[in-house]
Amino acid sequence: MKKAITGFHLDRFQEWNADLECGHTVEMRHNPPYQECKWIGTTKGRQEHIGDTQECIYCDMPELPNNLVLKKTSPCYQAETIPDELVSGYEPAIGEWVNVVVKSGLLQFVIHHEHATGFVLDQHLNGVMVPGVVHRLRPAMGDVEFYLEYFEAKEA
Ligand SMILES: [Zn+2]
């Protein structure tokens, strides 16, 4: 989802981050061809790019509703131990929500709605599985450690 930039700040690694109108932040690193933002290093450059729009992946991820009860937590999986059902596609039952928590490394997470939306999960971005929709997990590169939290919606 495209969101407007409202400001910039340096993170603890001394990399520039853009503050977005939605409250999320995006790392801005001049790293062509993936990201072109040579201007990020100068005050003038940053000033001129306030108001630009940036893709916010955090806004595209579904959010867990508030009325959930934690039913179980999976063991910690690694690249070689991801269960087949998560690789081939897992569809939470109606009323079931799943939170994918990455402890280290990167994990591919694809939501198959009417079209497929892909994410790369890390320690800062959890994957949220919505009831009745197929989701697939795959290691992105290198090793990964993650676990799943299974929730059930409380009756209103
Ligand atoms: Zn956002």
Q: Can you give the pTM of this predicted structure?
A: 0.79
Q: Is 85 helix (H, G, I), strand (E, B) or coil?
A: helix
Q: What is the pLDDT of residues 18-34, one digit of tens each?
A: 999 999 998 898 888 88
Site of tokens 């409250």: 23
> 79 CA distance to ligand 1 centroid (A)?
28
Q: What is the pLDDT of residues 75-126, one digit of tens each?
A: 999 999 999 999 999 999 999 999 999 999 999 999 998 888 999 999 989 9
> 48 CA distance to ligand 1 centroid (A)?
21
Contact between residue 40 and residue 28 where contact means Cβ atoms under 8 Å apart:
yes
Domain ranges of the chain: 2-60, 68-153
Q: What's the rounded Cα separation, in Å, for the pair 119 and 27?
A: 16
Q: What's the rounded Cα separation, in Å, for the pair 57 and 72?
A: 27
For every residue of 20-67, DSSP letters joined together read ETTS-EEE---BTTTB--GGGGSHHHHHHTTT-EEE-HHHHS----SS
Quickly name the fold that domain 68-153 has: Jelly Rolls (2.60.120)
Q: What's the rounded Cα separation, in Å, for the pair 57 and 1?
A: 7
Q: What's the rounded Cα separation, in Å, for the pair 78 and 104?
A: 10
> 26 CA distance to ligand 1 centroid (A)?
9
